[in-house]
A and B are shown apart, each in its own frame.
Chain A
């Protein structure tokens, strides 16, 4: 197990180098230069040739691209991710700040989604084709078709404008979290309800459920001890895939509620070609995803003993 974790962490090195290199190249390939954009923002007018050259020299943009990249990589490996070109703040600190904001929003909304989806999905599967099941299926189908930011707008309309009990944007108080969390959590709960329902329903038709029944267990015991545990395996896998929403998926909701999360920050940095910020974010999010996926894999292994870490190619099965 430890050996496996160590091996997976070793993957970090090539992945980090490749992703950061590609990110660097993409910025380089874009037609505008960072100097143009940043200086224009700084002086609020078209910069002179002299200013551009000074800027490029100061940040090393006059050097060949590979030299720029290796210099950055060398510094990054020593823990120095550089400073933002736009406001001079430390990239590492920025990342941690917005990472925390993202984590708050993401995990609270996913937990909310699970709390909604698990009971509804399980009960739907348990009483398949009942009135409740039909209603919950229709409800989740409608829900899936609603974009999360639209839900956010409706929530703002109800709670901020009409009832005036919750703030519509901001980050400072815990109250600020509620609306974006509801918007994201509700919108991911809809698809989760369907997922839970199908996985539980699939398991309920398997032979070992019949065995469990033949042992004299009650329906509740069968559901909790036999069905749910097996049904959780695909659910956790999909939740792991959903982790990508951590950055990309929440951009609309984050910008709507002015939530200083990763998606929001990244979008801003990309718009202003803030190379150190883009690079730092790409690198750190790659690390985050690799570690998060590793954790998901370990949870799956805990749920399903048939997963064999040492035999990933599937040889010698049976």
Chain B
């Protein structure tokens, strides 16, 4: 079956210009999202996962320079001007963030924040928007009488539910979830993931999830992208990934999950202000060869899988 593509990202380069030099956080990243799937981007902190996700809807700070082609439903959206792009945000692509407490307006009633999203995208009356907001509150399993509550009156899990309700107010096709469960405790994490899964099926949504939690990946993902130092190291289907990870970094990530108390990947994520002549993972890699230091690996396509490593030979 040929899968329909919802989002295509080609040659995405992102750098931050700072007073002490440029920081390259995304280096020629390519990936596609198929309609209806959940794609997880994993990697350690500081690998540029969130930056890639936020760049898709241009939510990065002003010092970010984004280059590359992003196509949504076959139409390039990377060249749109701000006004046209605002119509895509919220209505077609919505985002939920980590730390919901700081991401919802502290002085506005939560119901109004949901209704506002709906009203901003569909020209409708206040009453209609309010009804829609109530419907969304029910969908995220919040008591409707919390419509008039302020964010600080809610628990972290409830706040994340509000965040989801805000994001889903306009029934977007693509939901970008940037570490949606990171700041929540384990039992609540599970509830939130379950809710996301349920809503995804209900609305046939596509989810792009950023996480560093392999448990979340295992539960949610259809496909997985492994990022390291601004590079997409491996993209593969979930089954293949957990059965036989190909890239040495992916292998290491799974090793950590198998024995989280004793095993860590030696070394640390490199400073992204450096430029790499070879493979960025080379200093920490246990399968490195002399070539890895000098030659930058290209993406190797192996059926459904894409791997960026000099030592992985196509079968």
User: B196 to chain A: closest CB distance in Å?
Assistant: 17
Total A-B pairs in contact (CB under 8 Å)?
A: 79
- With a cutoff of 8 Å between Cβ atoms, the chain A residues found around residue B57 in the complex are 214
A4 CB–B CB distance under 8 Å: no
Are A208 and B103 touching (Cβ within 8 A)?
yes
Are A229 and B103 touching (Cβ within 8 A)?
no
Are A213 and B87 touching (Cβ within 8 A)?
no
- With a cutoff of 8 Å between Cβ atoms, the chain A residues found around residue B104 in the complex are 208, 211
User: A222 to chain B: closest CB distance in Å?
Assistant: 10
- Closest residue to B105 on the A side, CB-wise? A208
Are B107 and A304 touching (Cβ within 8 A)?
yes
Given A226-B108, A306-B150, decide whether A216 and B103 contact each other with a Cβ distance below 8 A.
no
Are A215 and B166 touching (Cβ within 8 A)?
yes
- With a cutoff of 8 Å between Cβ atoms, the chain A residues found around residue B90 in the complex are 214-217
Are A208 and B106 touching (Cβ within 8 A)?
yes
Residues 207-249 of chain A, each 1 if its beta carbon lies under 8 Å from chain B, else 0: 1101111111111010001100110010000000000000000
In the bound assembly, the distance between CA atoms of A168 and B23 in angstroms comes to 61
Are A218 and B105 touching (Cβ within 8 A)?
no
Are A306 and B106 touching (Cβ within 8 A)?
yes
- Closest residue to A210 on the B side, CB-wise? B59
In the bound assembly, the distance between CA atoms of A217 and B107 in angstroms comes to 17
In the bound assembly, the distance between CA atoms of A3 and B26 in angstroms comes to 57
Which one of B57, B86, B87, B105 has the highest number of Cβ atoms from chain A below 10 Å of its Cβ? B105
A206 CB–B CB distance under 8 Å: yes
- With a cutoff of 8 Å between Cβ atoms, the chain A residues found around residue B105 in the complex are 208, 211-212, 226, 230
- Closest residue to B95 on the A side, CB-wise? A214
- With a cutoff of 8 Å between Cβ atoms, the chain A residues found around residue B89 in the complex are 213-216
Residues 84-98 of chain B, each 1 if its beta carbon lies under 8 Å from chain A, else 0: 001111110011010
- Closest residue to B109 on the A side, CB-wise? A305
In the bound assembly, the distance between CA atoms of A210 and B90 in angstroms comes to 12
Of A225, A303, A305, A306, which contacts B116 at CB under 8 A?
Answer: A225
B120 CB–A CB distance under 8 Å: yes
Q: How large is the interface on A (under 10, 10 to 19, 20 to 34, 35 or more residues)?
A: 20 to 34
- Closest residue to A221 on the B side, CB-wise? B120
Which residues of chain B (89-139) have a CB below 8 Å from chain A? 89-91, 94-95, 97, 99, 102-108, 116-117, 120-121
Are B99 and A213 touching (Cβ within 8 A)?
no
B5 CB–A CB distance under 8 Å: no
Are A305 and B150 touching (Cβ within 8 A)?
yes
User: B51 to chain A: closest CB distance in Å?
Assistant: 13
Of B91, B102, B107, B163, which contacts A229 at CB under 8 A?
Answer: B107
Of B87, B107, B150, which contacts A230 at CB under 8 A?
Answer: B107
Residues 19-61 of chain A, each 1 if its beta carbon lies under 8 Å from chain B, else 0: 0000000000000000000000000000000000000000000
Are B120 and A216 touching (Cβ within 8 A)?
yes
The interface size of chain B toward A, counting residues with CB under 8 Å, comes to 32
In the bound assembly, the distance between CA atoms of A215 and B99 in angstroms comes to 17
In the bound assembly, the distance between CA atoms of A233 and B107 in angstroms comes to 10
B152 CB–A CB distance under 8 Å: yes
Which residues of chain B (57-81) have a CB below 8 Å from chain A? 57, 59
Given A216-B89, A216-B117, decide whether A207 and B150 contact each other with a Cβ distance below 8 A.
no
Are B166 and A303 touching (Cβ within 8 A)?
no
Residues 165-184 of chain B, each 1 if its beta carbon lies under 8 Å from chain A, else 0: 01101100000000000000
Are A230 and B106 touching (Cβ within 8 A)?
yes
- With a cutoff of 8 Å between Cβ atoms, the chain B residues found around residue A304 in the complex are 106-107
In the bound assembly, the distance between CA atoms of A218 and B116 in angstroms comes to 12
- With a cutoff of 8 Å between Cβ atoms, the chain B residues found around residue A213 in the complex are 59, 89
Which one of A206, A216, A217, A218 has the highest number of Cβ atoms from chain B below 10 Å of its Cβ? A216
In the bound assembly, the distance between CA atoms of A226 and B117 in angstroms comes to 13
- With a cutoff of 8 Å between Cβ atoms, the chain A residues found around residue B97 in the complex are 207, 210-211
In the bound assembly, the distance between CA atoms of A305 and B107 in angstroms comes to 6
Of B83, B107, B116, which contacts A215 at CB under 8 A?
Answer: B116
Are A211 and B150 touching (Cβ within 8 A)?
no
User: B153 to chain A: closest CB distance in Å?
Assistant: 8
- With a cutoff of 8 Å between Cβ atoms, the chain A residues found around residue B99 in the complex are 207
- With a cutoff of 8 Å between Cβ atoms, the chain B residues found around residue A210 in the complex are 59, 97, 103
Of B94, B106, B108, B116, which contacts A214 at CB under 8 A?
Answer: B94
- Closest residue to B62 on the A side, CB-wise? A128
In the bound assembly, the distance between CA atoms of A233 and B102 in angstroms comes to 17
- Closest residue to B54 on the A side, CB-wise? A210
- Closest residue to A303 on the B side, CB-wise? B107
- Closest residue to A128 on the B side, CB-wise? B62
User: A211 to chain B: closest CB distance in Å?
Assistant: 5
Of B86, B103, B108, B163, which contacts A217 at CB under 8 A?
Answer: B86
- Can you offer 21 A-B residue contacts whose CB atoms are under 8 A? A208-B102, A208-B103, A210-B97, A211-B166, A212-B105, A214-B57, A214-B90, A215-B116, A215-B117, A215-B166, A216-B86, A217-B90, A218-B83, A229-B107, A230-B105, A230-B106, A305-B106, A305-B107, A305-B152, A306-B107, A306-B152
Closest 6 CB pairs of A and B: A216-B90, A216-B89, A207-B102, A215-B117, A214-B95, A215-B90
**Which residues of B approach A to under 8 Å, CB–CB?**
57, 59, 82-83, 86-91, 94-95, 97, 99, 102-108, 116-117, 120-121, 150, 152, 163, 166-167, 169-170
Given contact pairs A216-B120, A229-B107, A230-B107, enumerate 18 new A-B contacts (beta carbons under 8 Å). Answer: A208-B106, A210-B59, A211-B103, A214-B89, A214-B90, A215-B166, A216-B87, A216-B91, A217-B86, A218-B86, A219-B82, A221-B120, A226-B108, A230-B106, A233-B107, A304-B107, A306-B106, A306-B107
